Amino acid sequence: MTDRPQERETRQRQVVLEELRKVSCHPTAPELYELVRKRLPKISLGTVYRNLERLSQRGTIRKLVLGGTETRFDGDLDVHDHVRCAECGRVDDVENLPKKIPDPAPDMAAGYTILGHRLEYFGLCPSCQQKRRKKRGKEERGDGKEH
C-alpha cells in the first residue's frame, strides 16, 4: 500500500502496460480501461488515456493508426502487420507473412528517404462471417418472422 502520488502513478502505468500485453485484441483506451479497472477500481478513463499516450511516446507500446476511426494500442513491438474487420472494427495480427516488401528507391518515391511503411489488411472477422451466414440462411428460408 502506498499513498505517495508518484508511486501511485508508476503503479498505474505498470498495470496499464501489463493488461495491454496480456491481450491480443489491440484494445481501444475504453476497452483497456475496463480491464485495468478490475485491478485498480479507482482509476479513471482519463488516466488510462494519459498513460497510453505516454507509453507510446516512449516507444514502450505501439499506437495503431489504422483505417478505422478508433485509436487502438498494441503491446507487441515486434514488426508485424494487422488485419481489421470492416464490420465490427476488431483488429488482429497477420502471422508469418513472407518477408518483405522492398522499400522504393528515392527516385520512385518523390525523392523521399523511406523510413518504413504501414500495411493494413481488411476483411471480415470469423464472428462477423458467422453472423452474415446466419442472416443469409434466414433470408434464404424466407422466414423473416422467427417468433
- Binding flag, residue 40, Zn ion (CB under 5 A): no
Cβ closest to Zn ion, residue 36 vs residue 125? 125
Cβ closest to Zn ion, residue 33 vs residue 75? 75
Cβ closest to Zn ion, residue 52 vs residue 85? 85
* Region from 8-16, 45-53, 81-89, 95-103 binding Zn ion, contact rule CB under 5 A: 81-89
Nearest approach, Cβ of residue 113 and Zn ion (Å): 26
Residues 91-130 that bind Zn ion (CB under 5 A): 93, 125, 128
Nearest approach, Cβ of residue 48 and Zn ion (Å): 19
**In whole angstroms, what is the distance from residue 40 CA to residue 48 CA?**
11
Nearest approach, Cβ of residue 35 and Zn ion (Å): 17
**Nearest residue to 55 (alpha-carbon basis) of 22, 84, 105, 17:** 17
**In whole angstroms, what is the distance from residue 55 CA to residue 75 CA?**
10
Is the CB of residue 71 less than 8 Å from the CB of residue 6? Answer: no
Residue 32 grid cell: 483497456
**Nearest residue to 125 (alpha-carbon basis) of 96, 71, 82:** 82
Can you tell me which of 25, 65, 88, 108 binds Zn ion, judged by CB under 5 A? 88
Cβ closest to Zn ion, residue 79 vs residue 108? 79
Helix ranges (H only) for the chain are 5-22, 29-39, 45-57, 126-141
**Nearest residue to 26 (alpha-carbon basis) of 58, 79, 70:** 70
- Binding flag, residue 77, Zn ion (CB under 5 A): no
**Site residues (CB under 5 A) for Zn ion?**
74, 85, 87-88, 93, 125, 128
